[in-house]
Amino acid sequence: MSTIQKDLVAAIHYTLKNDGGDVVDTSEGRDPLEYLHGHGNIVAGLESALTGKAAGDKLSVSVAPEEGYGVTDDDLVVDVPREYLPAENVEPGMRFTAETSGGMRLFTVIEVGEKSVVMDGNHPLAGETLHFEVEVVSIRDAEPEELAHGHVHSGGHHHHDEEEEGGGCGHGCGCAH
């Protein structure tokens, strides 16, 4: 029986809850999440817990912020003059992408003032302990192209264009690589 190891593709069903027990994300009602194990495509704490598991295994995993989406970085909470934002009607919860010294980053509007806007560049789940309920659905060998690119190519086709190359967060959020 095959177990989840580096360079294999695992398919999992999962439910992610926060400390309050609220469902943050789930694969329920959708296809299982397929990922290339050992390549940082899901949060480190979950990937580590899945190593050695077999199809049919079910597990509960709590992942500390350090092994999830990181601890909250106060330096990523910034006060930005309103005129720097592309939208006239800025509201809390809106998201904007901005260039930082570390590359492009997604910021969420936290507070809107008359002349400035407080924005948070932390991942929305930074600082949170993540609670996963997981079922391993299947395990398969990765295709050579998947290994070369470091991630799964769903549906038998995949395209890298100039905009995608080097982009994507690589943390299981569904964005392109």
Query: Cβ(25)–Cβ(133) under 8 Å?
Result: no
Give the phi and the psi of residue 49 in degrees, each rounded to 5: -65, -25
Q: Tell me how crowded residue 21 is: count the other CB atoms within 10 A of its CB.
A: 7
pLDDT by residue, tens only, the chain of 177 residues: 699 999 999 999 999 999 999 999 999 999 999 999 999 999 999 999 999 999 999 999 999 999 999 999 999 999 999 888 877 789 999 999 988 888 899 999 999 999 999 999 999 999 999 999 999 999 999 999 999 999 998 754 444 443 333 333 344 434 333
Q: How far is CA 45 from CA 40, 42, 61, 106, in A?
A: 10, 9, 8, 23
In this structure, what is the dihedral angle of CA atoms 120, 160, 31, 52, given to the nearest 10 degrees?
-80
Domains of the chain are: 8-69+126-155 (3.10.50.40), 74-120 (2.40.10.330)
Structural tokens at position 44: 């480190």
| DSSP-assigned letter for residue 152 | -
Q: How far apart are alpha carbons 174 and 171 in whole angstroms?
A: 8
CA atoms within 13 A on the CB side of 16: 19
Q: How many Å apart are CA 27 and CA 174, to the nearest integer?
A: 12
Q: Are strands 33-36 and 116-120 parallel, antiparallel or unpaired?
A: unpaired
What is the per-residue pLDDT for 1?
67
